Amino acid sequence: MDTRQYVAHSYMLQGLGREEASLRAVDYFCDSVRIRSVERANGDLANYRNKNTGIAAYQECRNSSRDRVARNAERTDVTGYMALFSDPRISVIFATRPGYPLYTIPFIRVFGLAVGLWAASLVATVLASGFVVLILRTLGVSVPLALLGQVLYYALPTGREAMQPLCEGLLLCLLLAGVLGCVRILRGRIASGTALSLSAFAGAAGVKYAQTLLAVAGIAAMTALLVCAHRVRRREFARPELAVLAVTAAFTVALQLVIAALALPSTQSGLQDLLTVHYSRSMAPHPWHEFLRLSAAFWKEWLRAALMEPLVLLLLAGGAWGAFRYHRPFACLIVGTAVAGFVNQAGHPETAMGPRLMVMAMLLPVCGIPLLVESHARRHGRRGQDGQDTVLPPRVGRQSSAPESVSR
């Protein structure tokens, strides 16, 4: 349902009027309703013999949506790039996310709407997986294991969510580009790394500013913890780590100021949208009390499901172990992003969206598992050369002179 918001926004950016753009988005959405109706009927033992063409579902969706568009077209509080098929309090949230609609325009013009959205998702997914490879190669990981990170990006929920006609694929791509810039800073390429990370994070903010704020703030917080740990141990501050902290902290503050100055929808708006089920119900008299009750129920069920199928927990633990074992400053980058994914899910404790809200957390195993395998392989190789079990020192900061930090 969120896709129609982006489709309407994209059409308005291409010059169509608000009502025409909203009607085209409605037709696209209702056609997807028709297709899902046919798919469900074809796979249902009781109904597969009935020749369900989905026309009834399409007409019902189209009539109700077009009526809503006609009613909202008369409202005076619908401005800017807000669509007409939903409550204006919902539309204003999507109207402040121009990045993904702008990105889809050339694809829609060349391939049409349905194929264009698929092609846009495909390009973003491939680019994001390429950034995974570049990150791992910059850290000195061998080519086969860097390609393993690319395969994990496709195989884990990151790949599935990136291929949806939604903004998550482009957001992950830009966040990974920003992380690559931070890795270049850690490798001593401060100027180019700073330029890349700030540009990528700014682009990500245009796609989804709230999630970008969480991710960059998470990176800054984890890097600050590492710097504080160095201070407690009375070790020298590594200049690249301080540069990463300065860049991410400055961007976090600047983005928060932009959000406040432009009066963009805040956490309070998200809470109201959540507890009113997209403004279809009245607001609870004690919203924070209801939110805490909902959160307790959600995380209880999430943990139950995670323990029944513990692969996700094992991948997250393995990714964190591999990242900290191989390169602690980089581990702060990717763990901070993963924490942002959990915080984003905590702010939206609902099961209807599946893993989409927490998808940033899956970047941890995507990058961390290859690092775990690489560190194990290097440890095994050193043991084979020396004839004994030699423990390699932890990789902290830029250590280009050490044998284990040479890029293969």
pLDDT per position as a tens digit, 230-275: 888 776 667 899 999 999 999 999 999 999 999 998 777 888 888 8
pLDDT class for 64, splitting at 50, 70, 90? very high
Considering only residues 108 and 395, tell me which one the structure prediction assigns the higher pLDDT. 108
Sign of CA dihedral 343, 348, 349, 355: negative
pLDDT tops 60 at residue 398: no
The encoded tokens of residue 100 equal 């993904």
Extract the runs of DSSP E, i.e. beta strands, from 192-250: none
pLDDT for the residue 123: 98
Q: Find the angle CA(301)-CA(368)-CA(307) to the nearest 5 degrees.
A: 20
**Other CB atoms within 10 Å distance of the CB of residue 329:** 23
* pLDDT, position 34: 92
How many CB atoms lie under 10 A from the CB of residue 322?
24
pLDDT at position 194 over 80: yes
Residue 43's pLDDT band (boundaries 50, 70, 90)? confident
Q: What is the mean pLDDT of residues 87-96?
A: 92
Q: Look at residue 388 and tell me whether its pLDDT is greater than 70.
A: no
Could you give phi then psi for residue 193, rounded to 5 degrees? -65, -40
Q: Rounded to whole angstroms, what are the CA distances from 83 to 21, 65, 131, 206, 220?
A: 8, 12, 34, 18, 36
Question: Which two structure tokens, joined as six digits, stand for 123?
Answer: 């390009």
User: pLDDT digit string (tens) for 282-333?
Assistant: 887 788 888 999 999 999 999 999 999 999 999 999 999 999 999 999 999 9
Is 50 exceeded by the pLDDT of residue 391?
no
Q: Which helix (H) or strand (E) holds 230?
A: helix 209-232
Q: Any idea which of 49-63, 111-125, 191-205, 227-241 has the lowest mean pLDDT?
A: 227-241
pLDDT at position 273 is 84
Which DSSP helix (H) or strand (E) runs through 354? none
Q: How many CB atoms lie within 10 A of CB 229?
A: 11
Instruction: Give this prediction's pTM.
Output: 0.91
The 10s digit of each residue's pLDDT in 71-87 is 999 898 899 999 999 98
d(CA 142, CA 371): 10
Question: What does pLDDT average to over the chain?
Answer: 89
Residue 382's pLDDT band, with cuts at 50, 70 and 90, is low
